[in-house]
Chain A
Amino acid sequence: MSMLGDAAGGAGRYLDDRLGLAKVVRKNIRKVFPDHWSFMLGEITLYSFIILLLSGTFLTLFFDPSMTETVYNGAYGPLRGEEMSRAYASALEISFEVRGGLIMRHIHHWAALIFIAGMVVHAFRTFFTGAFRKPREINWLLGVALLVLGLLEGFMGYSLPDDLLSGTGLRIAEGVILSIPLVGSYILMFFFGGEFPGVDLIPRMYMVHILLVPGLILALIAAHVGLVTYHKHTQYPGAGRTEKNVVGYPLLPVYAAKAGGFFFVVFGVICGIAALVPINPIWQYGPYDPSEVTAGSQPDWYIGFLEGSLRLMPNWEIEFWGNTLSLNVLIPSLVVPGIMFTIFALYPFIEAWVTGDKREHHILDRPRNQPVRTGLGVMFITSYTILWIAGGNDIIAITFGLSINAITWFMRIAFFVLPPLAFWVTKRACLGLQHRDKDKVLHGRETGILMQLPHGEFIEVHEPITPEERWRLTSQEIQRPAALPASADGNGVAPRGALAGKLRSKVSRWYFEDRVEPATPADVHELESSGGHH
């Protein structure tokens, strides 16, 4: 025992003398992390990324990113004798001949779907709880960058096997690039190195897919997690939690054990699914041939919203001076997502401008206490989901026996009608929940027990809530609309920035006009002195 301890101590001293680690480690192992299931979402993403790196490394050992033509002579009968690229042939080889190859492909693909899904859910947890507020705006931007890189990386992975589905996806990407006015065809030549599909694209994409983008993602993840440690983790409101402390478990041993355990849980779930549920049966698609298409061609889920916006868009084109501006492609595949991602990235700055709040926030909001923000988030999710569902309109049509035209028209209308409706409903729901919280503070929890008073009146028995809970329900700060700026000085000259100020106060009114102010001690007091009746 003591020998072991001596050895460990010796090793530690050796390293400390050379790397100066002791201080860093001592500081960090005492770092405290709050415990909540929603704080594990980022971890799901991180661990899927690690699984992607591991399984991807395996795949690189056998995948040959070459467009050289070859005649297939492998294990899959229905394709034997078929001409195809080396890329596709080697992907088939991984599926049928390499030991463990198919499950590695499954693991890699499932982990990719989960990686991006986890990222999205994590982003919305951050959004709805206001964790993007000062000082974490930069980290929000890093997160958005990671999301965009994730989409790009996933799309390239989907395109590499050079099967019919990959090629169809690239064909669409080609159309999107070509729809960029003026420079589209130059950009296309730059990427594809010639006419579609060409022989350069797959090897180029392969390099970007296995080296450049993963490298960038890794670096950004390091910065992202580094900033989380530096800022310390946010926490939900509760008794004893302030803007100045963090309540939770220390990194060692509790948190590290939990997080480490969770890695294996994520690994296990992904492997289990990969073993049981096939994904992307490339051998059924056949090799890519520009003259072929297949029903059920669909991108992976995260590109689905782009597919949907393409499918919803009416066929508009503008002709001028012999040029065609393909609005039918440009708007749905570049303008709409461009706007969506810009708003998404800039939201922390927009909200900071509206509230004019320059303070740091480490205590999270409960989503109901921010009815407008929560409403906006749900509105965004609604628009996104409609596009996403529209991308699978053919699958919905065949699965439920509906008309694809009817679905498309329904979705077109829904895209404009449902998001505002979702906003309104969510905002009302939040205000309703706030009212309920206030009632709970003032009158206690409803027990469902009815009691008859001596004079015959029935009342419901309310059970008082604990002080901890009362704190949780009343600690949020009250936000009121910003005052209108002084409109003009004595000489009738508007001060500089008056217009912006006016706009700000308008938006701020829209944000905070409808509100439920939490119960104050005075309210409670008044209620008690009036004998608890209402």
Chain B
Amino acid sequence: MRPEDSSDLAPATAAAGAVEPDAVERAPAAAVPARTRKPLRRRPLGASLLLLVALGLVGAVYSLFAPANADVDAPGSAQAGRELFLANCSSCHGTQGQGSSAGPTLVGVGAASVEFQVGTGRMPLAQPGAQAPRDYVRFSDEEIADMAAYVATLGPGPSIPSDEDLDLSEADVTRGGDIFRTNCTMCHNYAGSGGALTEGKYAPSVNQTSPRHIYEAMLTGPQNMPVFADSQLTPEMKRDVIAYIKTSSEHPSPGITGLGALGPSAEGLFGWVVALGLLLACAVWLTQKAK
């Protein structure tokens, strides 16, 4: 069953929520509200002023049009979150979350980003590298909620998805598959088992990720992943994608699993080493002189 609601998509995202396929290199394109992370380059004063005014305007327009995401009332306690933040995160992200040379600003990243980053163990970052890897989770759910609430007070950003957002009972798995293949497989592989990006970066496997974190990954676009804002992938479509990932990764794979998810390279290696190796061993055995 295909819902007929695809008409409310932006023109560029016509078929099944397609995002510009050239999103592979660096993500949030025009469709995503400006989130300035890099310091502005030194420019003649007039130009910078103009830029500031323009940015202010964009910000103002953004906060007008993004009311759903901008609410600050994350479930945790912002006060307790601040304490945790100062103790664990401020060394890199600054005491006001304004960022430092060791970490980006968290102003406007939203509660969803914190829950994703800390909830998948990426933060606090253990050591600098090509990208923050998934790691063991170092905080309780409550502590994460507190920090998320605190970061949400720094500036409007995507909030934590509600339980309705994550209710998969109505989801359309087939459409989710379409959306997944159009938007995600180019980085995450057809089986969701991950793929390499440039310069040692990679898109990790999504098969073990909880629905909540998949949702938040799409909302916040961590690191090299593009942001899939609700204007590009509606909450309904996000649920379809999650349902597809869950169904297909739980589909029993015949025989020894794992090999199929890496594609023909792994099959070829297996063919040469194991299959041909076995056959050669048999040939040697057959032609041995009888003793």
Return A192 CB to nearest CB of chain B, in Å: 22
Q: Is A518 an interface residue (CB 8 A)?
A: no
A265 touches B286 (CB 8 A): yes
Q: Report A35-52 CB contacts with B as 1/0, cut-off 8 Å.
A: 111111101100000000
A295 touches B256 (CB 8 A): no
Q: Is B84 an interface residue (CB 8 A)?
A: no
- For the complex, what is the distance from the CA of A297 to the CA of B279, rounded to whole Å? 28
Interface residues of A in 398-442 (CB under 8 A from B): 398, 401-406
Q: Name the A residues within 8 Å of B188 (CB-CB).
A: 295
Q: Report A279-290 CB contacts with B as 1/0, cut-off 8 Å.
A: 111001110010
Given A114-B279, A277-B255, A279-B267, check contact A286 B195 (CB 8 Å): no
- For the complex, what is the distance from the CA of A391 to the CA of B187, rounded to whole Å? 17
Interface segment, one of A77-85, A317-325, A489-497: A77-85
B286 touches A118 (CB 8 A): no
Q: Is B174 an interface residue (CB 8 A)?
A: yes
- For the complex, what is the distance from the CA of A275 to the CA of B256, rounded to whole Å? 9
A118 touches B174 (CB 8 A): no
A296 touches B174 (CB 8 A): no
B270 touches A266 (CB 8 A): no
Q: Report B67-102 CB contacts with A as 1/0, cut-off 8 Å.
A: 000000000000000000000000000000000000
B262 touches A114 (CB 8 A): no
Given A79-B174, A293-B186, A301-B268, check contact A404 B279 (CB 8 Å): no
Given A77-B247, A269-B279, check contact A297 B200 (CB 8 Å): no
**Which of A77, A273, A284, A298 gathers the greatest number of chain B CB atoms within 10 Å?**
A284
B196 touches A295 (CB 8 A): yes
Q: Name the A residues within 8 Å of B255 (CB-CB).
A: 106, 275-278
- For the complex, what is the distance from the CA of A43 to the CA of B256, rounded to whole Å? 28
Contact residue among B2, B248, B269 (Cβ-Cβ distance under 8 Å from A81): B2
**Which of A43, A295, A394 gathers the greatest number of chain B CB atoms within 10 Å?**
A295
Which residue of A has the minimal Cβ distance to B194? A398
Q: Is B178 an interface residue (CB 8 A)?
A: yes
**Which of B18, B253, B261, B265 gathers the greatest number of chain A CB atoms within 10 Å?**
B265
Q: Report B250-284 CB contacts with A as 1/0, cut-off 8 Å.
A: 01011111011111111111111011101110111
Contact residue among A81, A281, A297, A404 (Cβ-Cβ distance under 8 Å from B174): A81
A121 touches B268 (CB 8 A): no
Q: Name the A residues within 8 Å of B185 (CB-CB).
A: 164, 292-295
Q: Name the A residues within 8 Å of B272 (CB-CB).
A: 117, 301
B276 touches A78 (CB 8 A): no
Given A262-B283, A397-B200, check contact A291 B260 (CB 8 Å): no
Q: Is B46 an interface residue (CB 8 A)?
A: no
Q: Is B177 an interface residue (CB 8 A)?
A: yes
Contact residue among B177, B197, B271 (Cβ-Cβ distance under 8 Å from A78): B177
Return B215 CB to nearest CB of chain A, in Å: 19
**Which of B15, B18, B266, B279 gathers the greatest number of chain A CB atoms within 10 Å?**
B279
- For the complex, what is the distance from the CA of A398 to the CA of B262, rounded to whole Å? 10
A262 touches B174 (CB 8 A): no
A277 touches B259 (CB 8 A): yes
Q: Is B40 an interface residue (CB 8 A)?
A: no
Q: Is B168 an interface residue (CB 8 A)?
A: no
Q: Is B163 an interface residue (CB 8 A)?
A: no
B21 touches A291 (CB 8 A): yes
B195 touches A295 (CB 8 A): yes
Which residue of B has the minimal Cβ distance to A109? B267
Given A402-B200, A405-B198, check contact A286 B268 (CB 8 Å): no
- For the complex, what is the distance from the CA of A265 to the CA of B282, rounded to whole Å? 8
B202 touches A284 (CB 8 A): no
Return A295 CB to nearest CB of chain B, in Å: 3
Q: Is B1 an interface residue (CB 8 A)?
A: yes
B256 touches A276 (CB 8 A): yes
- For the complex, what is the distance from the CA of A222 to the CA of B90, rounded to whole Å? 76
- For the complex, what is the distance from the CA of A414 to the CA of B124, rounded to whole Å? 39
Return A300 CB to nearest CB of chain B, in Å: 5
Q: Is B189 an interface residue (CB 8 A)?
A: yes
- For the complex, what is the distance from the CA of A347 to the CA of B6, rounded to whole Å? 61
- For the complex, what is the distance from the CA of A132 to the CA of B24, rounded to whole Å? 49
Interface residues of A in 242-292 (CB under 8 A from B): 258, 261-262, 265-266, 269-270, 273, 275-281, 284-286, 289, 291-292
Q: Name the B residues within 8 Å of A291 (CB-CB).
A: 15, 18, 21, 182
Interface residues of A in 83-119 (CB under 8 A from B): 102, 106, 110, 113-114, 117-118
A40 touches B283 (CB 8 A): yes
Which residue of B has the minimal Cβ distance to A404? B196
B253 touches A278 (CB 8 A): yes
B177 touches A102 (CB 8 A): no
Return A181 CB to nearest CB of chain B, in Å: 28
- For the complex, what is the distance from the CA of A278 to the CA of B263, rounded to whole Å? 11
A37 touches B187 (CB 8 A): no
Q: Is B191 an interface residue (CB 8 A)?
A: yes
- For the complex, what is the distance from the CA of A487 to the CA of B2, rounded to whole Å? 84
Q: Name the B residues within 8 Å of A279 (CB-CB).
A: 259-260, 267
Q: Is A392 an interface residue (CB 8 A)?
A: yes
Interface residues of B in 1-53 (CB under 8 A from A): 1-2, 15, 18, 21
B265 touches A110 (CB 8 A): no
A281 touches B279 (CB 8 A): no
A295 touches B200 (CB 8 A): no
- For the complex, what is the distance from the CA of A229 to the CA of B219, rounded to whole Å? 69
Q: Is B190 an interface residue (CB 8 A)?
A: yes
Q: Name the A residues within 8 Å of B253 (CB-CB).
A: 278, 281
Contact residue among B199, B247, B257 (Cβ-Cβ distance under 8 Å from A405): B199
Given A113-B267, A299-B264, A392-B265, check contact A78 B21 (CB 8 Å): no
Return A266 CB to nearest CB of chain B, in Å: 6
Given A275-B255, A281-B260, A291-B15, check contact A398 B267 (CB 8 Å): no
Given A78-B247, A295-B185, check contact A397 B202 (CB 8 Å): yes
B130 touches A300 (CB 8 A): no
Which residue of B has the minimal Cβ distance to A293? B186
B275 touches A258 (CB 8 A): no
Contact residue among B177, B270, B275 (Cβ-Cβ distance under 8 Å from A79): B177
Given A280-B260, A296-B262, A394-B195, check contact A401 B200 (CB 8 Å): yes
Return B12 CB to nearest CB of chain A, in Å: 12
Q: Is A304 an interface residue (CB 8 A)?
A: yes
Contact residue among B21, B197, B271 (Cβ-Cβ distance under 8 Å from A110): B271
A82 touches B178 (CB 8 A): yes
Return B30 CB to nearest CB of chain A, in Å: 19
Q: Is A395 an interface residue (CB 8 A)?
A: yes
A40 touches B287 (CB 8 A): yes
- For the complex, what is the distance from the CA of A527 to the CA of B185, rounded to whole Å? 72
Q: Is B173 an interface residue (CB 8 A)?
A: yes
Given A114-B279, A293-B186, 14 new contacts (CB under 8 A): A37-B284, A38-B283, A40-B286, A44-B283, A82-B174, A261-B286, A266-B282, A284-B191, A291-B15, A292-B186, A301-B271, A301-B272, A304-B268, A405-B199
Q: What 9 pairs across the A-B complex have the smallest Cβ distances?
A: A295-B195, A301-B268, A403-B200, A397-B196, A40-B283, A294-B185, A113-B271, A296-B263, A392-B265
Supply 30 A–B pairs (Cβ within 8 Å), ascending by A.
A37-B284, A37-B286, A78-B173, A78-B247, A82-B177, A117-B275, A164-B185, A265-B282, A269-B282, A273-B275, A277-B259, A284-B190, A284-B248, A284-B261, A286-B190, A292-B181, A292-B186, A294-B181, A299-B264, A300-B267, A301-B264, A301-B271, A395-B262, A395-B263, A395-B265, A402-B200, A404-B196, A404-B199, A404-B200, A405-B199
